[in-house]
Amino acid sequence: MRVVIVTESFLPALNGVTTSVCKVLECLRALGHEALVVAPGTSPWSPTMTPERYAGFPVHSVTSVPVRQFRVGLPSYELETVLHRFRPDVMHVASPFVLGVRGLTAARALGIPSVAVYQTDMPSYIKQHMGPAGDVTARAVWRWIRRIHQQADLTLAPSSAALADLAAHDVPRVALWGRGVDADLFDPARRADPETAALRRRLAPHGEVLLGYVGRLAPEKELHRLAELARTPGTRLVLVGEGPSREALEALLPSAAFLGRQEGMDLARAYAAFDAFVHTGTRETFGQTLQEAAAAGLPVVAPARGGPLDLVQVGRTGFLFDPDVPGALAAAVQPLVVGADAPALRERLGAAGRAHVVERSWPALVDQLLDYYAEAIHATSRSAA
């Protein structure tokens, strides 16, 4: 199969969209398929470059502009030329909003079957940053999203909450497609690595319980909630990631450790050094870092909203808290850090969490994705007949 992937985000940016696109490409290569990536190019002011190839596949970069530290690819008619040359069987559009819209329009004009992957809760993100105009703007964004996804032969959502949001806003032809996890990389066995032990000694010199967060340090992650945990005796917060909120968070959480951006084995060892994983954002359509934490054998505490509703089994793999109730996060974390039974509880929940996600490999998820590609191809052939 020949697959063109049009994505709103790609390397060197690290986020859920980039990660899923990279994993899909790696699996497509392993299965012998052909692929081409169309992605925002590196801006002149960026210190790192968009790769020309990934997993052996070519990457076609388009002109981009920076918007709140994101690269936004600009739509242009060059996409049709790229598609004519590559002649794909199907187009995969990752989190379409600007560049992806151009991709879907071109696919429809050229009769190319298309699958759009809904990954980013853009209405909530924009609502948060628009102040008094947020509600009106969010409704307009939902109308835009509906127009975008109406062009796709199939839209895939990562969680039941995201599916419900799309259905509530009349987005047609939707199906559930989750995210895979690398259970070999994110493994409780990493705790035995000498590097992990050294990291833990540095972060918890007095035996503190380490409460970890992994992700972008940005307003939409609502990390101000972590202030509730900064007052918990015998614990220390550890944040992995970078973003525009880092300076403010360092002032808010002066005793927390900030490890910056981590990848690969360094990230796996960071998870392994934690005792529990905490997440604060209420706008996650899925929550990939929650799944990675579970694979690493950590109990997970997250808001009872959005993607975490599918990922956290209350009392079995972790706890959910009500984000509208002050102190609810601290109350949810307390059983994991207070009392003689806390270590055993963390171990039991972490083991159950790993068992819950360990079969969600990326190869298995891409096998399912290929079935969705075939469904879109069949639908296009049927409508053309």
List, for residues 143-190, the tens digit of each pLDDT value. Answer: 999 999 999 999 999 999 999 999 999 999 999 999 999 999 999 999
The count of residues in the chain is 385
Same domain, 365 and 353: no
d(CA 74, CA 70): 13
Same domain, 208 and 312: yes
Q: Is 0.75 topped by the overall pTM?
A: yes
Same domain, 126 and 33: yes
Q: How many domains, in total, are found in the chain?
A: 2
Same domain, 144 and 157: yes
Which residues are within 8 A (CB) of 205 and not within 5 positions of it... i.e. 6 or more apart? none
d(CA 174, CA 156): 6
The whole domain housing 212 covers: 188-357
Per cent of the chain over pLDDT 70 is 95
Same domain, 345 and 199: yes
Same domain, 199 and 329: yes
Same domain, 241 and 276: yes
Range scoring the smallest mean pLDDT among 23-32, 45-54, 303-312, 340-349: 45-54
| Location of structure tokens 């992605």 | 39
Tokens of 262: 């981590």
Same domain, 101 and 199: no
CA 37 to chain centre: 19
d(CA 361, CA 293): 14
CB contact at 8 A, 60 and 85:
no
- DSSP strand pairing (57-62 vs 53-54): antiparallel
CB contact at 8 A, 319 and 337:
no
- CATH code: domain of residue 94: 3.40.50.2000
Annotate 213-230 with b (16+ C-beta within 10 A) or e (fewer): bbbbbbbbbbbebbebbb
